[in-house]
Amino acid sequence: MRLTDTSDLWWKTAVVYCADVETFHDTNGDGIGDIEGIGRRLDHLVELGVTCLWLMPFYPTPERDDGYDVVDFYGVDRRLGSLGDVVELVRTAKDRGLRVIADLVVNHTSNQHPWFLEAREDPKSPYHQYYVWREDKPPDTSEMVVFPGEQEAIWTKDRKAGKWYLHHFYRHQPDLNLSNPAVRTEIAKIAGFWLELGFDGFRVDGVPQLLSLGPSNEPKNDDVANPHDVLRDLRSFIGRRRGDAVLLGEVNMPYDQQRTLFGESGAAELDLIFDFVAMQYLYLSLARGDAGALATALKNRPAIRREAQWAVFVRNHDELTLDQLTEAERGEVFAAFGPDPEHQVYGRGLRRRLPPMLGGDQRWLRMVYSLVFSLPGTPTLFYGEEIGMGENLAAPGRHAVRTPMQWSPDPGAGFSTAHPKTFPAPLVEGRFGPEHINVEACRTDPESLFNFLRHLIDVYRRHPELGWGQLEILDQPLPCVLAHRAATGEASIVAVHNFSSDAVSTAVKLPGVQPGHELHDLIAARWRDEPGGRQSSDRPLVVDDEGRVEVQLAARGFRWFGAPQPPGTRGSQAEPPALG
């Protein structure tokens, strides 16, 4: 790894922050967040240490799926602002050292999109071939729906067209026919448009559905022999238009299928993929107080091309899906963190944020975020995570976690001066409401989660081996402890995390490290202390004659160490070729 690699491939050590425009900050008092509101709050992100802002959809929409039902891919919803506001936001973000990526919704459109309106009117229109149709009645597809209980099938008959159209998501979101070269050209134009306005890449929505091109009525063209060509073509186009732009994929699939979506050097597809597998097994380990499930998942992480990276996260803007766990394992997580039916959704996930699930336990919260930031990957935060926001279960479905950002203890949470009844979603109430949890209070509280994350991000950014290193699970005897090392050819970090509610001591084996070497703590001592407990020591730990080091951990404690580099260790991928 060279120092210049950390800027050329900036996404490998980025800190990504996801913001929903309409629930972040309202500047005109209409009760709805706006683009200008994001701009006014950029300094909050900079103070936290964020390096990349991810904007959820801001395109014109009928608002039947929180903006993911798009009617114009080249515009901005009038409620949220204008193209001019977007340009000002991107320019200001660049001034603050932030990159900006946007949601690229290319699976489907709204059924109110002009393309679909013309497609259903005239089967001879070129836009008719923008969608996937069938004339015969489809079989039962109830097992294929994405949102059980909210949809019954993935085909719906359009009365005007007299045919059935495909929709992997809601019936008001007809799937685009990605086998049609004209559609792929349009997608490239959309991406090119936003790149010209200064965006640094895209988060690609629903990649598994994107790859399911869907049955069609034998389209005349057959040049898409493999659906991966869609992503390869898009990645290639973006690289030509903007060499340092990134594609971040929403891919909730098993590891063996995810690996193919990274592509190979010279035939790249996605640059970043959300690690849904590790996320789900993290929650299983938290429920059990046993690190084994997560350790096994991490050992199964496949090798990926050097330029690519995993995106690690605690939760996102959707349900906290647990669909890759077995039914019994999912039941364990439900019992621990969402036992009430109102906590659960679609039979596979939770509609809660982490702080309420952990009972507001600050030590436990710090341990989870320490773990996520210590794993080789790119940490991604959902707005409000940095202050420990909760959810409002009165909001329907996935919207329980998409509540207005809590900036202050004011009646409108500092989000808006309008009456809360006009807000896109209800404010969080009770223990995690804005009167108790808000940015103003967290900034001035030296023990707040916000200030802990500031420190954590600072350490993470100063140690690029956490983004570039090869992951190694280290041997130690306790089931409740996860010890791992991230190593490059130049440096390594050792992290040890205790999933137990009891303090423990464990001997961690460090292959390749000579006896007598010292390990120095990287996380400040005050964050490793138990409240009211003894002060942690910053004295280095010394490797014994058997290549082990004894690590003391508080209940749900954690420690990061700068460690000697094992001989012959390289990064997770091959070194770059020489230039020239």
Q: Closest Cα to residue 269, out of 204, 317, 223? A: 204
- Phi, psi at 314, each rounded to 5°: -95, -45
- DSSP assignments along 214-267, one per residue: ---S--S----SSTHHHHHHHHHHHHHH-TT-EEEE---S-HHHHHHHHEETTE
Specify whether the CB–CB gap between 370 and 523 falls below 8 A: yes
Per the annotation, the verdict on 143 as an active-site residue is no
CA angle 494, 498, 501 (to 5 degrees): 165
Residue 39: both structure tokens together: 């701009």
Distances from the Cα of 503 to the Cα of 497, 533, 556, angstroms: 11, 11, 7
Which residue among 250, 318, 319, 465 is the active-site one?
250
333, 339, 341, 346: CA torsion to nearest 10 = 0
Per the annotation, the verdict on 205 as an active-site residue is yes
Which residue among 205, 307, 435, 465 is the active-site one?
205
Q: Closest Cα to residue 274, out of 255, 299, 300? A: 255
CA angle 70, 73, 76 (to 5 degrees): 85
Measured N-to-C along each axis, helices 228-241 and 181-196 cross at an angle, to the nearest 10 degrees, of: 30
Residue 476: both structure tokens together: 């130690």
- The 8-class DSSP code of residue 579 comes to P
The length of the chain, given as a count of residues? 580
Contacts of 444 (CB under 8 A, 6+ apart): none
Q: How far apart are alpha carbons 500 and 286 in whole angstroms? A: 9
Active site members:
205, 250
